[in-house]
Amino acid sequence: MSDFEPKIVAFVCNWCTYAGADLTGTSRIKYASNVKIIRFPCTGRIDFMLLLKAFSNGADGIIVSGCHPNDCHYTSGNFHAKRRWIMFKELMDFMGIDMSRITFSWVSAAEGARWAEVVNTTVTRIRELGPYVSYKELVNKSVEEEVKNG
Amino acid sequence: METIRKLIRKQSLEKLYNNLAANRKVYAPVIAADKKAEYKYNPGFADVTFDHIRSTLSVKNIVFPKVENLFFYENSKTESTITDIDLDKIPEVVLWGAHPCDNAAFDTLRSIFCWDTKDEFFSRRLEKLTVIGLGCHSSDEYCFCTSVGLSPSSSRGSDILLTKLQTGDYQAEILTAKGNEIVSSFPDLFEPLTDEKVDITEVKQKFSHKQVTEKLAGAFEHEFWIANSLRCIGCGACAYVCPTCACFDIQDETKGKNGKRYRSWDSCGFGLFTLHTSGHNPRHVQSQRWRQRIMHKFSYMPDRNESLGCVGCGRCSSGCPVDMNIAEQLEALQNI
Amino acid sequence: MDNLILRAKELLENKTVQVVIGYEAGPTGVVRPAFISDPANADSLIYDERCVQNLAVYLTKPEVKHLGRIAIVSSLPVMRSIMMLISEQQISYDEIVVLGISADGVLLDIADLSVMQGYIDKSDLSNPVKYKELLAELKKLTPAEKFEYWQKELSKCIKCYACRQACPMCYCTRCTVEVNQPQWISVQSNAHGNMEWHILRAMHLAGRCISCGECGRACPVGIPCHLLTMHLTDQVYNYFKVYAGTSEKMNSVMSTYEPNDKESFIV
Amino acid sequence: MARIGVFVCHCGENISATVDCGKVAETIGNLKHVAYSTEYKYMCSDPGQTLIKDAIKEHNLTGVVVSACSPRMHEPTFRKACAEGGLNPFLCEMANLREHCSWVHEKNELTTEKAIDIVRTQVEKVKLNSALQPIKVPVTKTAMVIGGGIAGIQSALDIANTGHKVIMIERSPSIGGHMSQLSETFPTLDCSQCILTPRMVEVAQHPNITLYTYAEVESVEGFIGNFKVKVRKKAKSLDEKACTGCGLCTTKCPQKKIPNEFEQGMGMRPAIYVPFPQAVPNRPVIDRENCTYYIKGKCKICEIVCPTKAIRFDQPDEILELEIGAIVVATGFDIKHADFFPEYGHGRYKDIIDGLQFERLASASGPTAGVIKRPSDGEIPKNIVFIACAGSRDPAKGIAYCSKICCMYTAKHAMLYKHKVHEGKAHVFYMDIRSGGKNYDEFVRRAIEEDHVNYIRGRVSTVFERDGKLIVKGVDTLLGAQQVEIVADMVVLATAGVASSGAEDLAQKLHVSYDSHKFFAEAHPKLKPVETNTAGIFLAGACQNPKDIPDAVSQASGAAVKVAALFSQSELTREPLVAIVNRTSPPTYSTCVGCFMCQSVCPYQAIEREEFKARDGKVVKTVAKINEGLCQGCGTCVALCRSKSIDLLGYSNTQVYAEVVALLNEY
């Protein structure tokens, strides 16, 4: 497990967290290189299906991050996103899907150091959890089922 | 080959089953937690049921799996490499204890998959299949095999057909070379058949499929279709539980440089089935799709495949959430 | 049920409506939806505890709409579905007559939308008791047990979409699963794709599900998929104190928000 | 078939120091559909941009990925370069290798691998980009300036002088801001009022400026060029047209014991008052919270004495609805008051005051007419201590930043004191003297050398009273951290400059970002210091961070130029990154089912209904339609749409999906 490098996808909004991550860079704060960012205009744009897609394509962890409440560049995108994540989390929990693999956070454009901290805590946690075996098995299971029939 | 009838004792069935299951995949019905029958690979003999009327799903997946990979591919900057499926790896399967309707359906499927060109995947799977059928000693209100030219004791599609005797032992009709091979592998288990009475259920004929086919020829525009499909909600349950429905979709799935092409079950009951890229849908409402389903099975297939597209198992009706009872509708159609 | 038959006849005879959607017993004795256009056929209408299908699903079906003005036999879930369909602008109350039926099977006089609103307001809108127990049982499981439970159930799915088609709120003419640019959900039926489909369905019904349980009843292979949407119905109420199908105005929790919505997992 | 060009930038060594740029370019070059892949030292330089332009033509590129810094930095640069190279600018994407990779990771293989993943993701995205055309929207050529301090005044006058209309909103009864409170200004020691009041009058008289004092922004809707601003004009209880500003009411008002805000609480004012003699407009308002009539229901003396019968007790607040094209935020700053320093004895000792209070003491129009008298007994202090950095640069106090103006004004205060109290002794405790600026350091040297102000480098630990004197205990770090104790008559704290009260609330109304100290955030700390993240809203003055007058005025003029540039166009060109509802022909095939949940979720009221009718006029289908002038492209509707009938240009479903797949799979 020591050479396990988790794959983590970060879904972030352009105005706060993406800019915050830029500031992390400008401030030369170092963090783990396991996290790769996909830029969205707003957390409101982030379809919950994309999170499932990240897992099914092999992500071990996910970060979803946007503007703090009241700070949304578009006023309310993050509030809608918040409701979406509340429901999503409740459903995932009910289905036994491990939500500790997803970090939901608010990181503002001014919080460069905080972004590094969010990344590092997530990477540490995912390292402890190990590869997301049960999800990967689930994805591969389809192939197995076919083999069984054929 | 000429049909040979033999006797197999109830206790010998277990030996036969266990011998087969020891080195082959045996697909046999069991009673699931929801008290409905379902087929499983190599269940313990004690779990195998001999008394079910119909399983929720048919057994067509042996020869027509719900997902069949057709080939795999890998893309590089300049070219794509295709890896074919090794059809030799398709395993031998013994279907155990399936009823005459389901077994006859393999014939129907062959008439579709091998209509003009021979579908390799289907044919190879069928070649590897041996069917030990079981005549029906019970039936229910959804059964209508007798209306579509079959019966609870039809041997079509079976390699061996078992029929329960009133003594509790079974009659084994050895119908094909494949069947004979099994019997000759276990000669001790089969005895000569004395004249004993079989326990076969009676299924009342509800309509004449010939009359239905004749009626359908002129019924395309009939108001019957709308009036009788109003309650159809347009799901694919009937097609997916049907032993003869053979529609499929072909898809490519690519992840990065790797991908595969596969086919998976589809249903003419879905709007998407006929949707054109333009947005135009030649069958844009459910009544047209319901008509298609009936027409295909009872008019187009007799016409084109010289085979009826229905074996009267009744699954589509018993599985329908809104009681679209096909036998009832065909009975009504016969009289329009 | 004489009252219902009389009322249906009356509505058809005086041409207030062109069709009455209710329940009848089919030739096998199975109760199923009935579409009565001729007053003479109204006698076949029945209403008893077997009449559970949510008939509101037909209100958005083109061939049914085409028949004209509709009277619809409506238990509480049907009335709530109608409310949802109005709030999401799929139907207008003018197009229908609600033949309301109370929980104990009595024909209600639903004269207009406000009467229906009043009836809904004073009803218990939480999940039906039998499902509450199931939900509670499931919630007690450990995450691994939950995962195993749902994987076992969902592996049965054949993607016939009966759950979707039976749901009055799944009226979209194109479902996300029918989109292939991108292919959000794999077309094939496999463990992973089946799970994604059921997550998608439940999420799309979050705050919109009116707890009729129709999706689970329609499933030919017996997946209790209604428990997924009902669980979210519970959670919607838990977090936002809202039940679906209680207002003719758009009040879906997923398209609205309160700045002080509480959660405990966003860092 | 896509032909993508990839350009990997070294950014000098900013990227290449930790990322193997050559390997990135080579690996990406092996991807399907990548027609050209190269690296270069500075892609943003002229030769770098030429490289892109030439490659577009030479390799007939259908898309470009510039792998360099943050798109927030240079996306416009490279999109422009692509356009000049003949490629639609929206077929260019940037892969952020600097801020998100090279600057935040160590040099190793994983970092280069991550860089490759980032670039590949953008390659897969750009394949799905579509050529977009900019959106044109009309511009309302009226600016709003929020705040009537020197920054707001300068901005308003500059915009007005370009010939455009300006509406100025000031929440207090008069414009002038903090500058009107100052006695003299550094580094020239000229009188603040003398240079400010002519500008105030100019605002009031300018034909292009409409001034609303005692008014606040209620709500802001719309977008650049097309804002709809609601302004609450608080009731002044006065008919401004009838009032002549004679001031009789203010002298007759029986309630005279209200702490005067303008005098920083060092003087009193009546309930009906003009904040200060030079106020613009020179009209009184009734402070309803303190007016006897509003409290007890009777009095009305002002109404009785008013010669023009201008008092209106029942006047309601008025809501103005204004169409605005651009907004300049100039809401200024506040200072932390002395109560921020309980350790310095605030509250126990009256003679500890803050810098603004000292300004009023030193002002000729102030409560002491310019004589430095201490608040407790009116005595002239013989020994005065100024403490710089009171709160600023003090993370323990929650303020890590330098308030910038205190060093200079403390020197000024010490000088003013010495000029007025020749025999007095002035001491300044300081951390560092930050006197960068034209003639600034000379000014401080003058205080030390000519006016003999005693500068002590060190912090003050405590201030307490002994025998009627304030004992200031501190250290002198230049004398080896030796303890110093000064017996003072008065202490002046140069307290930190902080965001104006209500700044956060206003920022939320305007939908602009603000930092953790509630100062308004600029779009870029260096290259867009005047813009906010919200197009059409600009910053002027100390609302952004503490600033001195020349800085505030310069920025105000800068903001005015931004507004003028915007107003110089009859139409505004907007990025076409907006939502669209898919439409097929015939429209009845459109997949939108018309549930209008998108309408409920849209913050910009950008979603409209579109009805399709049959020949008989009957509506057969209703679908959503996006007003591209109003849509800001947040995409919340896109994620909510169940039938996936809405998509967002630039962040389409296929694009973001491809990004997820590309980031995680082998290619």
Is the pLDDT confidence value at D615 over 80? yes
- C248: CB partners within 8 A, 6+ apart: C83, C86, C87, C93, C113, C117
Q: Between residues 172 and 191 of chain C, which touch chain D (CB distance below 8 Å)?
A: 172-176, 179, 181-182, 184
Is the pLDDT confidence value at A131 over 80? yes
When the pLDDT of each residue in chain A is averaged and rounded to a whole number, the result is: 92
C152-186 exposure pattern, b = at least 16 Cβ within 10 A, e = fewer: ebbbbbbbbbbbbbbbbbbbbbbbbbbbeebbbbb
> pLDDT tier at C41 (50, 70, 90 boundaries)?
very high
- Alpha-carbon gap: A6 to the closest alpha carbon of chain C (Å): 21
Where in the sequence is the domain holding B213, given as residue range(s)? Answer: 4-334
> What pLDDT does residue A2 have?
60
Pick D348 or D57 by higher pLDDT.
D57
C255 touches chain B (CB under 8 A): no
DSSP code, position B298 = I
> Which of A12-16, A112-116, B169-173, D626-630 is the least confident region?
D626-630
CB pairs under 8 A between A and D: 149
Does residue D552 contact residue D405 with C-beta atoms inside 8 Å?
no
- Alpha-carbon gap: B73 to the closest alpha carbon of chain D (Å): 13
- D658: CB partners within 8 A, 6+ apart: C182, D124, D125, D127, D128
Secondary structure (3-state) at D329: strand
Could you read off the pLDDT of D168-207 as tens digits, one per residue?
Answer: 999 999 999 999 999 999 999 999 999 999 999 999 999 9
Which residues in chain B have their CB less than 8 angstroms from residue A136's CB?
none
A36 vs D117, D521, D636: nearest CB: D117
Cβ of A150 within 8 Å of Cβ of B125? The answer is yes
Which residues in chain A have their CB less than 8 angstroms from residue D640's CB?
80
Is the pLDDT confidence value at B72 over 90? yes
> pLDDT tier at D39 (50, 70, 90 boundaries)?
very high
Could you read off the pLDDT of C148-202 as tens digits, one per residue?
Answer: 999 999 999 999 999 999 999 999 999 999 999 999 999 999 889 999 999 999 9
Cβ of B253 within 8 Å of Cβ of C62? The answer is no
The CA-based angle D640-D645-D648, given to 5 degrees, is 75
Is the pLDDT confidence value at C28 over 90? no
DSSP code, position A80 = H
D188 touches chain A (CB under 8 A): no
The total domain count for chain B is 1
Does residue D404 contact residue D497 with C-beta atoms inside 8 Å?
yes
Could you read off the pLDDT of B197-251 as tens digits, one per residue?
Answer: 999 999 999 999 999 999 999 999 999 999 999 999 999 999 999 999 999 999 9
| C neighbour chains, 3+ CB pairs within 8 Å | A, B, D
Cα torsion angle, D99, D105, D108, D114, sign: negative
- B152: CB partners within 8 A, 6+ apart: B99, B100, B135, B136, B137, B139, B143, B145, B146, B200, B201, B202, B203
Residue recorded with tokens 């039936």 = B139
Cβ of D104 within 8 Å of Cβ of A109? The answer is no
> What pLDDT does residue C1 have?
64
Which residues in chain A have their CB less than 8 angstroms from residue C191's CB?
138, 141-142, 145
Is the pLDDT confidence value at D362 over 80? yes
Cβ of D30 within 8 Å of Cβ of B77? The answer is yes
> pLDDT tier at A1 (50, 70, 90 boundaries)?
very low
Which percentage of chain D shows pLDDT scores above 90?
88
- The token pair at B302 is 């007799």
Is the pLDDT confidence value at D525 over 80? no
Is the pLDDT confidence value at D629 over 70? yes
> What pLDDT does residue B33 have?
85
Does residue D150 contact residue D549 with C-beta atoms inside 8 Å?
yes
> What pLDDT does residue A145 have?
55
> What pLDDT does residue A141 have?
79
Cα torsion angle, D551, D556, D559, D564, sign: negative
Does residue C119 contact residue C110 with C-beta atoms inside 8 Å?
yes
Helices (H), D511-649: 549-567, 597-601, 636-640
Helices (H), chain C: 2-13, 62-65, 76-87, 113-121, 129-140, 143-154, 162-166, 191-205, 214-218, 226-240
Does residue D168 contact residue D661 with C-beta atoms inside 8 Å?
no
- C-alpha to C-alpha distance for D474 and C66, rounded to whole angstroms: 90
Cβ of C88 within 8 Å of Cβ of D595? The answer is yes
When the pLDDT of each residue in chain D is averaged and rounded to a whole number, the result is: 94
| B neighbour chains, 3+ CB pairs within 8 Å | A, C, D
The ipTM, to two decimals, is: 0.94
- The token pair at D136 is 């044109």
Cβ of C266 within 8 Å of Cβ of A82? The answer is yes
- C-alpha to C-alpha distance for D233 and C29, rounded to whole angstroms: 74
> What pLDDT does residue C92 have?
95
Which residues in chain B have their CB less than 8 angstroms from residue C162's CB?
233, 235-237, 321
Cβ of A146 within 8 Å of Cβ of B61? The answer is no
A14 touches chain D (CB under 8 A): yes
Could you read off the pLDDT of A19-77 as tens digits, one per residue?
Answer: 999 999 999 999 999 999 999 999 999 999 999 999 999 999 999 999 999 888 887 89
> What pLDDT does residue A147 have?
43
Report the run of H or E that residue A124 belongs to, with start and end. Answer: helix A112-129
Is the pLDDT confidence value at C94 over 70? yes
Is the pLDDT confidence value at A150 over 80? no
- D169: CB partners within 8 A, 6+ apart: D144, D145, D146, D147, D148, D212, D215, D216, D217, D231
Residue in chain C lying closest to B248 (CA): C188
D590 touches chain B (CB under 8 A): yes
- Alpha-carbon gap: D656 to the closest alpha carbon of chain A (Å): 8
Length of chain B: 336
- C-alpha to C-alpha distance for D390 and A52, rounded to whole angstroms: 52
- C-alpha to C-alpha distance for D338 and D347, rounded to whole angstroms: 8
Which residues in chain B have their CB less than 8 angstroms from residue D661's CB?
255-256
Cβ of B279 within 8 Å of Cβ of D590? The answer is yes
D643 vs C175, C250, C255: nearest CB: C175
| A neighbour chains, 3+ CB pairs within 8 Å | B, C, D
Is the pLDDT confidence value at B15 over 90? yes
C28 vs B227, B249, B325: nearest CB: B325
Does residue D203 contact residue D280 with C-beta atoms inside 8 Å?
yes
